[in-house]
Structure 1
Amino acid sequence: MKKLYSFLMGILGIILALWLLSLHLESKSNSNASNKLVIFNWGDYIDPELLKDFTKETGIQVQYETFDSNESMYTKIKQGGTTYDIAIPSEYMISKMMSEKLLVPLDSSKIKGLENIGSDFLDQPFDPKNRYSVPYFWGTLGIIYNSELVKEAPEHWEDLWRSDYKNEIMLIDGAREVMGLGLNSLGYSLNSKNEQELQETVDKLYSLTPNIKAIVADEMKGYMIQNNAAIGVSFSGEARQMLDKNDKLRYVVPPEASNLWFDNIVIPKTVKNKEAAYQFINFMLRPENAYKNALYVGYSTPNLPAKAMLPKEIQEDEAFYPKEETMKRLEVYQSLGSKWLGIYNDLYLQFKMYRK
């Protein structure tokens, strides 16, 4: 009986030891989590020095992970199993994530510096009263061209169809962007849900294929900088980086219509360190940090004091800070819903296959 008693007490001791060990590990894990911030962002979309500055100032270590599309970011957060504290999606995806309860409502009492953001970038239809997001960068979709490689500079979307641009154009690889420029060239909204307009658009895009050199992503920068392509269609921030490295390049936003986009900071439902997330938001809202970030990334900042710190030639460059009359003609991507997004993607895929 004593042996049985001793055996049971031994088992109990082991269980107690394992329980104490688990508590210790959980405590350690929580301690580590409270000292770490996990950011999910586009590649090369923040000055790395700012992440170091944030850690130096707060003691919070930053784990920085990247995505290459709004859709891949959305899928990863929706599936769960991740611990992202901060994400930086675009406007139409913010709307979609809000509707699917994938974002945490912001506590405005914990946010400091929102007054630095221009009123034009707040209270947008995709996030009324900014209940879920804080502006990070904004910009346009336009045409980059090499002034020495084209006889006549493109100014409108329709110009891309000129016969003298044969095998000279590089397109950004995106369904909304390519379908959008096609729609705009015909005078249609880039958020069209009209099947006839969409079919007319893809038919017109088929006729553009002789002029297309390649459909690419980040590779476009290298081609344009090295004078290996005459024309590109891409985002303003990408264009800024190209222009900085090649003084022959120019960027133009077609005045008839184009895309106006916003990338905002959000706290996804996967958050583990909410306090650190608010600290990061406030850190990025400070003008000196937003200024440093704008210089590094090259995109347009919605932070007005930060913009005022930029060199005059950047502040007054209408390609990157368009006049009000141009801004009025720009459209923000709307969430199309799964049906129409599928149609856009299918038509775009047909276009890509056609040119092969």
Structure 2
Amino acid sequence: MKKTVALLLTLSLAVLPLTACGSASSSGSNGEVVVYNWGEYIDPDTISMFEEETGIKVIYDEFETNEIMFPKIEAGASKYDVVCPSDYMIKKMIENDLLAEINYDNVPNAKANIGQQYWDMSKEFDPGNKYSVPYCWGTVGILYNKTMVDGPVDSWSILWDEKYADNILMQDSVRDAFMVALKLNGYSMNSVNPEELNAAKESLIAQKPLVQAYVIDQVRDKMIGNEAAIGVIYSGEAIFTQRENPDLEYVIPKEGTNVWIDSWVITKNAPNKENAEKFIDFMCRPDIALKNFEYITYSTPNDAARELIEDEDIRNSKIAFPTLSDYSNLETFTYLGEDADALYNELWKEVKSS
């Protein structure tokens, strides 16, 4: 969920605003493809390589959250071809008839290189794997500083420990925050039970005086800079933080957590569907998937790319590539419907305003 606030990519890849007709640049010799992705969620070199090899011009735009992306696709004002939503949002887009089925004859690298376990996980939000191709995946867990935290960390409950008051970072995201509280209380993170959700709300309100800040990408920078002792973070960010600060450790709590997948999809009325499939196929090529993994540090579902990772510690990292069967109560977010969304949002407002 990509998991960071969108920023401009390096100057080698200009982010171009789209007009209502979806054109921001002249097409390449073989046309264009209009891509809508999270900020800093692709290696700019792979865009250049795709353009050079195919003659297809890439028009690239970014979004910050699934919730910002969805209404733009629904409205159809900008004619995007390829989008990279998260699991639960893909389900919502399917239910709203916003996606086109992918012709896998045109995307052979997907079936050849994406691991079966990721296709199986994707069936939770895309039955039959008709509409989406896994791009990145990971878990949500606790990042802590070994020099600032006493004893082992294995439970979400440490985020409620008063000894770490004003040293705790929480995700500024309704689903992620409620996931932590629901799991702590022994409930599904996809609960729509009002009693369970109210219990989670009360837990979050009780925790609030201990929280230094509700953040998104800032958790990474604050933890690297020793500005907090504990934070809720995405596994891909954890890999990056450990490179910068060796005192940091990442754990998946024993109560369970979210296993997420961000996937490539093609919009229902994509003007350039054939080029969109060529783009997705290119991104599933092992060498290209490896470049993207090394650039963004989020785990690749591309088994062939993983085999190309030269650093054995990274290739076998329990953070980047955990054996999911070693953990219990892992779930993938699902779209819960408009009524449930409204309830979550209302309860989150009560937490933030308390």
Q: TM-score, normalised by structure 1?
A: 0.88
Shift of 1:319: 2.4
Aligned residue for 1:53? 49
Decide whether aligned partners of structure 1 residues 130 and 328 sit closer, same or farther in structure 2, where only a CA change above 3 A counts: farther
Distance 2:152 2:225 in 1: 19
Aligned residue for 1:116? 113
Aligned residue for 1:32? 27
Shift of 1:119: 0.8
Distance 2:83 2:50 in 1: 16
Distance 1:160 1:153 in 2: 13
Shift of 1:211: 1.7
| C-alpha RMSD of the superposition | 1.9
Give yes or no for contact 1:145–1:153 (8 Å, CA) kept in 2: no
Written as runs of structure 1 = structure 2, the 5 A alignment for 1:56-95 is 56-95=52-91
Shift of 1:151: 2.3
Q: List gaps (5 residues or longer) in structure 2.
A: 1-20
Q: Identity of counterpart residues, as a percentage?
A: 40
Deviations 1:55-111 (A, max 9, x none): 111122212111111111111100111121110001111111011110011112211
Distance 1:149 1:189 in 2: 31
Give yes or no for contact 1:82–1:270 (8 Å, CA) kept in 2: no
Shift of 1:270: 4.5
Shift of 1:153: 4.2
Shift of 1:146: 1.2
Deviations 1:230-287 (A, max 9, x none): 1110211122222221111111111321001010100012522112111111111111
Look up the SS of the partner of 1:202 in the other structure: helix
Give yes or no for contact 1:89–1:265 (8 Å, CA) kept in 2: yes
Distance 1:134 1:327 in 2: 25
Aligned residue for 1:267? 266
Look up the SS of the partner of 1:205 in the other structure: helix
Distance 2:325 2:118 in 1: 16
Q: List gaps (5 residues or longer) in structure 1.
A: 1-25
Deviations 1:160-214 (A, max 9, x none): 1111111111111110100010000011000111111111111111111122000
Give yes or no for contact 2:137–2:261 (8 Å, CA) kept in 1: yes
Aligned residue for 1:303? 302
Written as runs of structure 1 = structure 2, the 5 A alignment for 1:248-287 is 248-287=247-286
Shift of 1:132: 0.4
Look up the SS of the partner of 1:256 in the other structure: coil
Give yes or no for contact 1:144–1:234 (8 Å, CA) kept in 2: yes
* AA of the residue aligned to 1:74: F
Look up the SS of the partner of 1:258 in the other structure: coil
Aligned residue for 1:187? 186
Aligned residue for 1:42? 38
* AA of the residue aligned to 1:104: A
1:175 aligns with 2:198: no
Give yes or no for contact 2:191–2:197 (8 Å, CA) kept in 1: yes
Aligned residue for 1:163? 162
Give yes or no for contact 1:147–1:153 (8 Å, CA) kept in 2: no
Deviations 1:96-132 (A, max 9, x none): 1011110011112211112211111114221122100
* AA of the residue aligned to 1:282: D
How many residues were matched structurally? 328
Distance 1:130 1:194 in 2: 29
Q: In terms of Rg, which structure is larger?
A: 1
Aligned residue for 1:152? 151
Shift of 1:150: 1.7
Decide whether aligned partners of structure 1 residues 107 and 30 sit closer, same or farther in structure 2, where only a CA change above 3 A counts: farther
Q: TM-score, normalised by structure 2?
A: 0.88
Distance 1:106 1:302 in 2: 18
Decide whether aligned partners of structure 1 residues 111 and 243 sit closer, same or farther in structure 2, where only a CA change above 3 A counts: same
Give yes or no for contact 2:147–2:247 (8 Å, CA) kept in 1: yes
Give yes or no for contact 2:256–2:327 (8 Å, CA) kept in 1: no
Look up the SS of the partner of 2:258 in the other structure: strand
Task: Tell me which moved more, 119-128 or 33-42.
Answer: 33-42
Distance 2:326 2:193 in 1: 25
Distance 1:250 1:228 in 2: 15
Decide whether aligned partners of structure 1 residues 152 and 111 sit closer, same or farther in structure 2, where only a CA change above 3 A counts: same
Distance 1:326 1:93 in 2: 27
Aligned residue for 1:337? 337
Structure 1 segments, 4+ long, off by >3 Å, are: 28-31
